[in-house]
A and B are shown apart, each in its own frame.
Chain A
Amino acid sequence: MPKKIRSKVSNTVSGTKNFFLGIPRATRNLYKEIPHQVKSFKEWIFTFRGSLTILCLIGTILVPLITMDDYIMTILISFLVFSIFAASWDLLAGYTGQVSFGHSVFFGIGAYVAAAFVKMAGLPWFFSMIIGAVAAILVGLIIGIPCLRLKGPYLALGTQAFSLILFNLFMSGELKDILGSTEGISALPAMSEAHIVTFFFILIIMVISFIILTIIVKSNIGTIFKAIRDDETAADASGINTTKYKLIAFMISGFFAGIAGGLFALNSRAVNPSVFLALYSFYAIVMVALGGIATISGSVVGAFIYWVILTELFKPMGALGTIFLYFPTLISALILIIMIRFADQGILKPALEHIREFYDFLLGR
């Protein structure tokens, strides 16, 4: 009799079958919330934050009207790409509390798969990008299942190990015919003839990604993610299957990191094993820390400060000698330490408060 009852239990609440069926079910519930989200979006536009966001967006759209310089366009495009990447890390680390130091794995897989499909199969870039992102989801599953048993610093080390494995795998000379070794995949067709068109394509993808990420974070799934971040044991005691939701977070985050990787490869028209380097994970972490952790929109601010302001500010120093080429990384590492010590909320939240005060002052409130 106990055995019989046991199987009844596993059929109703657990079991691997139910586990995997549960994932689409949890995601499907997202659709139900969309009308509510649209309504709150309409209200949001007229709030302080909303109008500021729309202003920034209009500003970005207007940049090509002022200058069509290729160099500026390139910088802006990589800024957009890296803001998606940083936001995907923010979802995993800032919202779900799963601090991954191997986020470059998703980025790299997205980049390689998208490049391979454009080059070998001749698919249009958009579909290759999506395929790359789906591949990153699968990698998220493969990495997520063993890594989810780890917590805190051990999870960071475990994910870092995967990025090292993939870096060495893609570097290896024996697999040159399949993976391309140090040369990677190069001479990809351009996304479009003019830089501005590429810029607008990527801007649209970035805006859509941010809308989706914000909806996820504000939905019921987002509430569960935050609960897991705050106290995993308490979430478990509240009847939440934490493993399932952590896996969902890994997959969603992997998808958007994969999109960023795909866009990075397609825009630079080449990809090599360096995309798996810890440096790329570090980029995401620095950007999120700069903008503010657990604020999806902070990633844009962080990416802008890091990629556009800091990097460009220190680039002229490279002319002084090769050693100065490392200055941007060095300075940003210093800034990261200072941020963590003195401003762990990032720049966005405190800055917004000050701007809001000024805004209220202007309106005479």
Chain B
Amino acid sequence: MGVILEVKNLTKKFGGLTAVNDFSFEIKRGEFVGLIGPNGAGKTTVFNLISGFEKPNSGSIRFDGMDITGLKPYQIVNLGLVRTFQLVRSFHYMSVLDNVSVACLSPRGKKASEKVGLDKYASRILSEVGLIDKARFPPVILPHGDLRRLEIGKAAGTNPQILLLDEPFSGLSYEEQEHIHALIRRLSNEGVTIFITGHVLRELMNLVPRVIAMHQGKFITDGSPQEVANHKLVLEAYLGRGGGIA
């Protein structure tokens, strides 16, 4: 069980604001890790930095032993590190099947889909995420929960080693959340390393065995959900200084 993702002293500044401040952590292969923090803690910025959509001011990101700092997003995806977006980004005027096919047509996705054939491979992913009945529809007419599942399907199409899920539960009903829970668990059982963010602790509590907490761009603590939930600084971050029900 080697380290698959190693982030060291990551710092990102937007003008005078330090969004991510000297952030370091490690994820082992096959692990299932959550990243929590209140709104504006810098979770999405961490994801943007890891997946190459933004360049860090300093620090390094190593994936599978390779330094991927400063590589372009598509190059990082083709190495096996794939992310989803908090605000769903689908290809609006293409069918749901074609949405997944695009991911299967990337160099990495192609390697995986070549043996089975593109259409078959893409439909297999669709039936896994439970959208096979809607394969011919354009995503614009799908409800939000389906779009989230499509987002995960698109990421799965590139055959990822590690999947970065940015707030996959935000704005979903309870049943829809359960669907996504089951889907993510299944991916994790298949051996995909999963790194997931959320600002509501309760959503992640039952799902992940290990949580990293951050506040105002800084690393706070790292451990099991219970440990993190009872950590003094985490409670302060969520409830304010001097408060606390624990």
Contacts and interface: CB of A to CB of B under 8 A. Distances in A.
Contacts of A236: 53, 72-74, 77
Contacts of A242: 74
A274 interface: no
Contacts of A239: 74, 77-78, 82, 103, 106-109, 158
Interface stretch (B93-101, B123-131, B197-205): B93-101
Query: In this complex, which of A6, A229, A234 has the most chain B Cβ atoms within 10 angstroms of its Cβ?
Result: A234
B235 interface: no
A175 B157 CA distance: 55
A13 B94 contact: no
19 contacts: A5-B65, A5-B66, A6-B67, A9-B67, A9-B75, A13-B75, A13-B78, A223-B98, A223-B105, A227-B99, A230-B92, A236-B72, A236-B77, A237-B82, A237-B85, A239-B107, A239-B109, A240-B102, A242-B74
Interface class of chain A by DSSP: helix
Contact of A235 (B83, B102, B157): B102
A231 interface: yes
Interface in A218-243: 220, 223-224, 226-227, 229-231, 233-242
A227 B82 contact: no
A175 to B, nearest CB: 40
Interface class of chain B by DSSP: mixed
A229 B75 CA distance: 20
Interface of B: 51, 53, 65-68, 71-75, 77-79, 82-85, 89-94, 98-99, 101-103, 105-109, 118, 154, 157-158
A107 to B, nearest CB: 28
Contacts of A364: none
A240 B105 CA distance: 8
Contact of B85 (A14, A220, A234): A234
A248 to B, nearest CB: 13
Nearest to A9: B66
A237 B81 CA distance: 10
Given A9-B79, A237-B51, 5 more contacts: A6-B66, A13-B75, A238-B102, A238-B103, A239-B82
A233 B157 CA distance: 16
A176 interface: no
Given A233-B53, A237-B73, A237-B85, A220 B105 contact: yes
Contacts of B74: 236-237, 239-242
A229 B73 CA distance: 18
Interface string A253-271: 0000000000000000000
Interface of A: 2, 5-6, 8-9, 13-14, 220, 223-224, 226-227, 229-231, 233-242, 294
A226 B107 contact: no
B82 to A, nearest CB: 7
Contacts of A235: 91, 102
A71 B107 CA distance: 53
B105 A224 contact: yes
A234 B79 contact: no
Nearest to B83: A237
B77 A237 contact: yes
B67 A233 contact: no
B98 to A, nearest CB: 5
A222 B118 CA distance: 14
B94 A230 contact: yes
